[in-house]
Amino acid sequence: DAGVIQSPRHEVTEMGQEVTLRCKPISGHNSLFWYRQTMMRGLELLIYFNNNVPIDDSGMPEDRFSAKMPNASFSTLKIQPSEPRDSAVYFCASITDRDSNQPQHFGDGTRLSIL
């Protein structure tokens, strides 16, 4: 079975540029989560969706960050404009249902470097 698929795996860009990270959840999963991992703050939840609807975006750092889920098989996390402090590894995870006790499954992440 295909797991959670994220693209690109690595992204290097200059500050001020728009960055778009992509995620394809596991087929049949209806909840999707975006996390960010840094050395200083560890793994933090940014936002999560249930049935394509954003449920909790309290972890989104500021208005430069936005996330969408246009359909059940695709989500994007966008940063515009990007800043060096946005450099981190961004993970996407999915689960069958947010009210389930089944585990979240993670992708391999996008390593983002903003110069």
Binding site for another protein (CB under 8 A): 4, 33, 42-45, 48, 56, 91, 93, 98-101, 103-109, 111
Contact by Cβ (8 Å): 9, 63: no
Q: Minimum distance between the CB of residue 98 and another protein, rounded to whole angstroms?
A: 6
Q: Minimum distance between the CB of residue 12 and another protein, rounded to whole angstroms?
A: 16
Q: Where are the alpha helices (DSSP H) in the chain?
A: none
- Closer residue to another protein in complex, CB, 42/70: 42
Q: Minimum distance between the CB of residue 39 and another protein, rounded to whole angstroms?
A: 12
Question: Distance (Å, rounded) from C-alpha 89 to C-alpha 9?
Answer: 9
Question: Distance (Å, rounded) from C-alpha 107 to C-alpha 6?
Answer: 6
Question: Distance (Å, rounded) from C-alpha 43 to C-alpha 89?
Answer: 9
- Closer residue to another protein in complex, CB, 14/65: 65
